[in-house]
Chains A and B, each alone.
Chain A
């Protein structure tokens, strides 16, 4: 493919057969959906589902704030904060990688791999954290707080593991000399899915680890 097939579509930069980037002229800086519409339907839907789970957590926390606060004391805020910084840095790598992907010779694969590695740091920290909690006898059935802790962080971790597979796909595609317009859309959408994993944790970390002292 060497050009946009839909009439009136904003020209998207991707590598054509010659490897040269098609520039978006200043005049044609039209607004376009990053990735695909379907991806955003999923992203917004998933964010809504998480909001319902957050609200449920906050409701039950309000029923017994003393229990929740006492159990929350067992959490290590530092590991939660480090995990937040890891995901923020991972998203930076992926965002820079997407920019590099649009340039011939841009080091997209390396940047996506950096994002992947930082995602693995998160997984490793989770493994250490869960191990420590279980060693201290805090399991999903211990009390309501621990149930929500494991459900919320487990649901997020599942999303992150899927996100790592998506980043793997991005790494593979970014090593190719040319990509189709369809693949280009998938790569953009995949990057957005990864950022969603980041933003879910940005809300989850303070709710679980930092908020305390009241209903």
Chain B
């Protein structure tokens, strides 16, 4: 028997869990985009965009199976997420 019991989700349940997080994040961003209480529009937009790129990372990790991919590919994908997020948010604060 295994020396340590690992309580992890089955792969199918992990996919559904990732989907649930993505749906919740989408609804949260939609609410935030409809002006629910954040005074500085730039802050709201930055939050929405950062959440969007976090969702992209989750899609890559869970759906595209990058969690099992070579580190180089994971690094390239992650680098794209960071650079693209920085570029977009940069436009809000530096324009």
Contacting pair B70 A92 (CB below 8 A): no
Number of A-B pairs whose CB atoms are under 8 Å?
A: 132
* Chain B interface size, under 10 / 10 to 19 / 20 to 34 / 35 or more: 35 or more
Residues of A within 8 A of B59 (CB): 91, 195, 198-199, 202
Query: When each residue 73-95 of chain B gets 1 if its CB lies under 8 Å from chain A and 0 otherwise, what string results?
Result: 10011001001100110011001
- Tell me the dominant secondary structure on chain B's binding face: helix
Contact check: which of B12, B51, B65 meets A96 at CB < 8 Å? B12
Residues of A within 8 A of B51 (CB): 206
Query: How many angstroms between the C-alpha atoms of A213 and B12 in the bound complex?
Result: 41
- For A52, the closest partner residue in chain B by CB is B87
Shortest CB–CB separation between residue B44 and chain A, in angstroms?
A: 7
Contacting pair B33 A210 (CB below 8 A): yes
Q: Does A1 contact B (CB under 8 A)?
A: no
Contacting pair A99 B92 (CB below 8 A): no
Contacting pair A88 B92 (CB below 8 A): no
- Could you tell me which residues of chain A, from 25 to 73, have a CB within 8 Å of some CB in chain B? 29, 31-34, 40, 44, 47-48, 51, 54-55, 58-59, 61-62
Residues of B within 8 A of A40 (CB): 73
Residues of A within 8 A of B11 (CB): 99
Q: A55-B91, A203-B52 are in contact. Are A213 and B44 (CB under 8 A)?
A: yes
Residues of B within 8 A of A48 (CB): 80
Q: A88-B26, A209-B33 are in contact. Are A95 and B15 (CB under 8 A)?
A: yes
8 closest Cβ pairs, A-B complex: A213-B41, A210-B33, A62-B95, A215-B95, A58-B91, A92-B19, A211-B45, A34-B65
5 intermolecular pairs with C-beta atoms under 8 Å apart: A32-B70, A77-B33, A81-B26, A96-B15, A192-B65
